[in-house]
Amino acid sequence: MSETFNDFKVNVGSEIGALRCLIIHSPDSGLGKVVPSKAQDWLFEDIVHLKTIRKNEYDHYLKLLLYFLDTEKIQGKLKDLDKDLSRDFYKPGHPKFHNSLKVVELQKLLSDILINENIKHKLVASVCAMESCTYHLQNQLMAKSNTELANIIISGSMDNDRMIFAPIPNFIFTRDVAIIINNFVLLNKPAKKARFRETLIARYIFFNHPLFASYEDNILEIPDSLPQFLRPGEENEQHSTLEGGDVMVVAKNHLLIGFSERTSAAAINETIKMLFDRNVVEKVTVVKIPHKRDFMHLDTVFTQVKKNMWVILKSIAMIDHRGNGNEPIDHITEKQPEDRTEVTQFIKGKINQPIKFDSVEQLLADISENDLKSTEKTEIIYSGNEEFPYDSREQWTDSCNLLALKEGVVLGYDRNEHTINAFKQKGFRIIGVKDLLQKFEIGELNPRTLENTFITMPSAELSRARGGFHCMSMPVFRDELVD
């Protein structure tokens, strides 16, 4: 194991402590293979343009992350990088690839573990079983080099772009495959078939890559209370599924889990017991949100900006008065709204005495003031600046799905203009990523001293994949928050 690998640490105890290391995946060629007939099954809202999503959108994200997390890989090189049409710097396996150990590319980790013949055998067999490949194809895959194979397993194509199985175009949303909670790794169980191969790859990486060798005992897999194959029906409610977008480490001792379209009650039940048994956290709050595509994960309806600041969709934040007897309809039908938001908190050792919160907003204020000891009033920014119809329009394009690079410095899509305006009204600097990178390059601004800033990211193509920068990040190390 090299020196640098020994320096690698896993620890995430908040949503907003300065980000020092994360795992990402740049759009691979599989994204360019999404066809209209499969777009819905593959969880894409539309057909994206691969060149644009890479060069005009995601590459800026990577450059920005490098500037904040691994400055020497990028500083002074921006002009040359932008001129280089080959984009070799962004291609895992290429000699010019950035190879950062702070902004870590999943495909690189996969190709590293495939050097080991034993792991290669096992993973190829698992992928082939999952994708129903022929034995002949399995042998062909075994003959590939580790870098070629990593590319094939992720993109689903080999030898001159021939598709051999479905791509995994959602792999750019690395948040959803695993979550770091303090110094533990929680491997997720996806609800949607389109994401099964992603989790298989993640499982092999975390258990086999030398970067995570000293954390092997801290890798958590969600057990089934009853074997999956004995559960009736195909409904998620019965099955144990949990996706990372529903998990938020809001404080060292406190985890939020969304009970959503993707994360089932059965998985939440097993996860809470496991987290308490292993002393990972002392408090878990379950936030039930409407089980709808619009709100697929908890992080699509709110994320944290500062100790005392959150961005949220108002209809999720407030007390839901429907069905409370204030409207005639409440008295002519007994039907209660099924999509009511509910907040239930479990404390270790007192699972039978859960605490109920009246609203999500009340929960967020409690986290800010009691867990994070913020002395300032809790501030809420609403999607679309609380204006109809921009609230739901902008939530759909991830106005609430922001990634904090450090407290008060967040990135989100440029298209959510009304939400951005709300940030402006709170005194935030609004700056486009290209502009910001230029200012870093000429020394006019510095990532270390930047404060209260909303970085706007180009989003025409990325937003069609239905996830924002919170989803596109798996934080591995964040600095501890200081009181």
Ligand X SMILES: NC(=O)NCCC[C@H](N)C(=O)O
Smallest distance from ligand X to CB 474, Å: 10
x/- string (CB under 6 A) for ligand X, residues 57-96? Answer: ----------------------------------------
Distance between CA 95 and CA 373 in Å, rounded? 47
* Helices assigned H by DSSP within 131-282: 135-142, 146-155, 196-208, 265-277
Q: Regarding beta strands 379-382 and 355-357, do their DSSP bridges make them parallel or antiparallel, or are they unpaired? A: unpaired
Q: Which neighbouring-strand residues pair with 409?
A: 406, 453
x/- string (CB under 6 A) for ligand X, residues 14-43? Answer: -----------------------------x
Find the helix or strand (DSSP H, E) in which 287 lies: strand 283-288
**Encoded tokens for 251:** 């404080």
Cβ-based nearer residue to ligand X, 42 or 89: 42
- Residue 14 CA, chain-centre distance (Å), reads 14
- The residue from 25, 33, 102, 175 that contacts ligand X (CB under 6 A) is 175
Of the candidates 324, 306, 319, 415, the residue with the CA atom closest to the CA atom of residue 359: 319
Using CB under 6 A, which residues numbered 284 to 303 contact ligand X?
296-297, 299-300
What is the SS3 assignment for 367?
A: helix
**CA contacts within 13 A on the Cβ side of 373:** 4
Cβ-based nearer residue to ligand X, 251 or 296: 296
Cβ-based nearer residue to ligand X, 245 or 365: 245
466: contact with ligand X by CB under 6 A:
yes
CA dihedral 321, 323, 328, 334 (to 10 degrees): 180
**Encoded tokens for 209:** 């890559």
Smallest distance from ligand X to CB 85, Å: 29
Q: Which residues contact 353 (CB under 8 A, 6 or more apart)?
A: 347
Distance between CA 336 and CA 470 in Å, rounded? 33
Q: Regarding beta strands 302-306 and 309-312, do their DSSP bridges make them parallel or antiparallel, or are they unpaired? A: antiparallel
Smallest distance from ligand X to CB 217, Å: 27
Cβ-based nearer residue to ligand X, 243 or 414: 243
- The residue from 465, 474, 476, 481 that contacts ligand X (CB under 6 A) is 465
Smallest distance from ligand X to CB 413, Å: 13
Smallest distance from ligand X to CB 468, Å: 7
Number of residues that bind ligand X (CB under 6 A): 14
Cβ-based nearer residue to ligand X, 170 or 395: 170
Smallest distance from ligand X to CB 313, Å: 13
Using CB under 6 A, which residues numbered 298 to 327 contact ligand X?
299-300
- The residue from 461, 467, 469, 474 that contacts ligand X (CB under 6 A) is 467
Using CB under 6 A, which residues numbered 39 to 58 contact ligand X?
43
Instruction: Write phi, then psi, for 20 (nearest 5 degrees).
Output: -115, -25
Distance between CA 365 and CA 374 in Å, rounded? 9
Smallest distance from ligand X to CB 262, Å: 7
Cβ-based nearer residue to ligand X, 92 or 468: 468
Give just the sign of the alpha carbon dihedral 166, 171, 175, 178: positive
Give the nearest residue (CB) to ligand X: 245
- List residues near ligand X by CB under 6 A: 43, 170, 173, 175-176, 245, 296-297, 299-300, 465-467, 471
